[in-house]
Copies of this chain bind each other. A is one copy, B any other.
Amino acid sequence: MPETLDLSGDVVALTAAICDIPSVSGDETTLADAIETALARSAQLEVLRDGDAIVARTHLGRSRRVVIAGHIDTVPVTANLPTSFRDAGTESEALWGRGTVDMKGGVAVALHLAATLAAPRWDVTWVFYDHEEVEAELNGLGRLARLHPEWLHGDLAILGEPTNGGIEGGCNGTLRADISTTGRAAHSARSWRGSNAIHAAAPILDRLAHYTAAEVEVDGLVYREGLNAVGISGGIAGNVIPDRCTVSVNYRFAPSATPEQAAAHVREVFEGFDVEVSDSAPGARPGLDALLVQEFVAAVTSVTGGVAGPKYGWTDVARFAELGIPAVNFGPGNPELAHADDEHCPTGQIRSCAAALRGWLTDDAGPDAGTPGIEE
């Protein structure tokens, strides 16, 4: 008998209710069951399920389909459940507890609108998925993209990750490479017979220390890059001149560059050294030059007061970009409080995000009245 969720009532109460069903990655079934059961009560929705991922979609014959997605898992609970309200009834009222920011506020907004928007302006595919906070290969959205790509089709994807009610578009790409030096081993008592590979790595660290990361404008957003050592190793024993030293670097590059261009840049920075790229993933352009996206951004930020900016981390937005679907993050909560012990979300943001999304999905002109200039 799954827990009963009231999707049609207050969206803040719904947020608290789904936070109070713990769903640490790998343990999402109870919450997934409750979501599936609650969504099945809405006649306008077709409800699908794969593992602990639930997909609910309208079939209203609209000219556009929007995918609105959120993960239902959280990082481990640290004595911050059940949820509690602070400053209740004031302007700074907030809901405290695990998941309030990342990202059950966004999930509650989506569940609430899925149940209460009987005839949205666009067809909507609501996606609630598992295993986002763990290894990429377990990610529920990735699994849906592999096993049921047709469930994710759409013209625009909105991920409800916390953005303080603003829009975060696209994401940087990421590349890892090992920069190595070689030397000649020798006993450290007669070091002049060897050649020290760690000493030879001095210019690598110098170049990193003096590297100035670029800021790159893509589709109107400025992406800040970064090139950093994330590891260094060398040395065999306390009395041996090391014959190898490896510096592992991570390059976060703007979505206007391909992984190949990023690799070429890293090779250029470390010219003269052995550079081996170990893995890379492309970024995602914010897609804010697409008219549908521009219109969405204008509609929701005018309600929430949020601003449009870049997303730095590699997020599930890139999974939609790989499917050719422009995607942005939009949700309540301060992303810097994600995973924090003092995770909490202003209840006003949850309400304003719900109102903004409802406004865009219903539109003054009525369902599917069309917006001038939406043609791509």
Is A76 close to B, CB under 8 A?
no
Distance of A254 from chain B, by nearest CB (Å): 12
A189-B312, A190-B226, A230-B238 known; 10 new pairs, CB 8 Å cut-off, are: A174-B189, A174-B239, A187-B313, A188-B230, A188-B250, A200-B209, A201-B232, A229-B235, A232-B232, A239-B250
Q: What 0/1 readout, one digit per residue, does chain A (181-206) give for beta carbons within 8 Å of chain B?
A: 00000011111100010111110011
Contact B228 A199 (CB under 8 A): yes
- Indicate if the CB atoms of B198 and A232 lie closer than 8 Å: yes
**Is there a chain B Cβ closer than 8 Å to A365's Cβ?**
no
Q: How far is the CB of A227 from chain B (nearest CB, A)?
A: 8
Answer whether A234 and B245 are a contact pair too, CB < 8 Å, given A189-B252, A250-B188. no
In the complex with contacts A205-B205, A235-B248, A250-B238, A229-B199 CB distance below 8 A: yes
A209 and B205 contacting across the interface, CB-CB below 8 Å: no
- When A and B form their complex, which 8 residue pairs have the shortest distance between CB atoms, in order from nearest? A231-B235, A202-B205, A198-B229, A191-B226, A189-B313, A199-B209, A189-B312, A202-B209
A304 located at the interface, meaning its Cβ lies under 8 Å from any Cβ of chain B in the complex: no
Known interface pairs A189-B174, A230-B238, A232-B245; A202-B198 also in contact (CB < 8 Å)? no
**CB distance B234 to A232 under 8 Å?**
yes
C-beta contact mask, A212-240 vs B, less than 8 Å → 1, else 0?
01000000000010101111111111111
Can you give 13 contacting A-B residue pairs, CB < 8 Å? A172-B189, A189-B226, A190-B226, A191-B226, A192-B226, A196-B209, A198-B208, A198-B231, A199-B228, A202-B208, A230-B237, A238-B248, A238-B250
Docked Cα-Cα span, A229 to B188, in Å, equals 9
Q: For residue A205, which residues in chain B have a CB less than 8 angstroms away from its CB?
A: 198-199, 201-202, 205
B-facing residues in A46-92 (Cβ within 8 Å): none
Q: CA separation between A242 and B230, bound complex, in Å?
A: 6
Q: Is A314 on the interface with B (CB-CB < 8 A)? A: yes
CA A98 to CA B226, docked complex, whole Å: 55
Which residues does chain B contribute within 8 Å of A172, judged by CB atoms?
189
Q: Kindly list chain B residues whose C-beta atoms are within 8 Å of the C-beta of A235.
A: 229-233, 248
- The smallest beta-carbon distance between A174 and chain B, in angstroms, is 7
* Nearest CB on B from A276, distance (A): 14
The distance from the CB of A101 to the nearest CB of chain B, in whole angstroms, is 16
Residue of B230, B234, B237 near A229 (CB, 8 A) is B234
> Is A247 an interface residue when CB atoms closer than 8 A count as contact?
yes
Residue of B nearest to A315 (CB): B189
Shortest A221–chain B CB gap in Å is: 15
Asked if B196 contacts A202 (CB within 8 A), the reply is: no
Tell me if A121 is interfacial: C-beta within 8 Å of chain B. no
Closest Cβ neighbor of A194 among chain B residues: B228
* Interface assignment of A11: CB less than 8 Å from any CB of chain B: no
Shortest beta-carbon distance, A235 to chain B, in Å? 3
Q: Which residues of B contact A208 (CB under 8 A)?
A: 196, 198-199, 202
Task: Report how far A248 CA is from B242 CA in the complex, Å.
Answer: 11
Q: Which residue of B lies closest to A211 (CB)?
A: B199
B228 touches A188 (CB 8 A): yes
